[in-house]
Copies of this chain bind each other. A is one copy, B any other.
Amino acid sequence: MHIGLSESDYPEIRNVALFSEVADEQFRRLLRGAYVQNFPPMIELVTEGDQSDFLHIIVSGSVELYSSWNNRETSIATIRPISTFILAATVKDAQYLMSARTLEKSRIILIPSQDVRAVFDEDYHFARAIVTELARCYRSSVKSHKNLKLRTSLERLANYLLRQQTYHNGRSDFDLDLEKKRLASLLGMTPENLSRAFKGLQAYGVLVNGNRISITNSDDLIGFAKPDPLIDDFNT
């Protein structure tokens, strides 16, 4: 199951922002102890509460970060290539705060956490990249917090759709890349409520047909959703 990385994988990993500036020697050291694995869908990669052994990098597929308490479960984020996840636990050498599972067949690189910390200590560019990535994750968590506390579920859905539309280059039609029940959990509501919320957005020109979304009147939807770069932009 565990397969060492081959040199042919290296260029791809170099493309991950975290590693693009690392000195060659340190880069090789990072990958020397690394594994790459292909996972089927719905495999639990990480369990909250466990000690952080590996930094994970998703190369293809998709991964859901989620968390449980008292028999309830909530989706916290979906991760798509190419990206790392659970970096904070790795740098702090602490317990995972979230669990992670594959949603589809996914290819994941695992780098031993201790190697990440060691290279952090030796390579300035890597340290800089880690700080940038951590700051990005932190800020994105704060945005998510604002989204949850300042908006109703209908507003969260409306803004989610607008973000998806942007992601699809502004097309008026696009497919949801997530099961609706997971989207509901991500947005902090029940699947039943999500169904009703989609109905509620018909009044603002949103048509739903299975996974297909059509936004017939962007201005109308924007008028309702009031998107805000300090909540909805992933890059600020």
Contact = CB atoms under 8 A, between A and B. Distances in A.
A92 B146 contact: no
A222 interface: no
A131 B132 contact: no
Q: For the complex, would chain A's binding face be called helix, strand, loop or mixed by DSSP majority?
A: helix
A92 B130 contact: no
Interface in A103-129: 120-121, 124, 127-128
A135 B48 contact: no
Complex copy number for this chain: 2
Given A88-B138, A131-B131, A230-B48, A149 B188 contact: yes
Interface in A53-77: 67-70, 72, 74, 76
A94 interface: yes
A218 interface: no
A134 interface: yes
Contacts of A98: 142
Given A134-B134, A139-B94, A149 B226 contact: no
A76 B144 CA distance: 12
Given A131-B131, A135-B88, A230 B97 contact: yes
Interface in A129-175: 130-132, 134-139, 141-146, 148-151
Interface in A84-108: 87-89, 91-92, 94-95, 97-98
A233 to B, nearest CB: 10
A5 interface: no
A4 interface: no
Given A68-B150, A148-B188, 10 more contacts: A69-B231, A91-B131, A92-B135, A121-B128, A127-B127, A134-B138, A141-B141, A141-B142, A144-B145, A148-B148
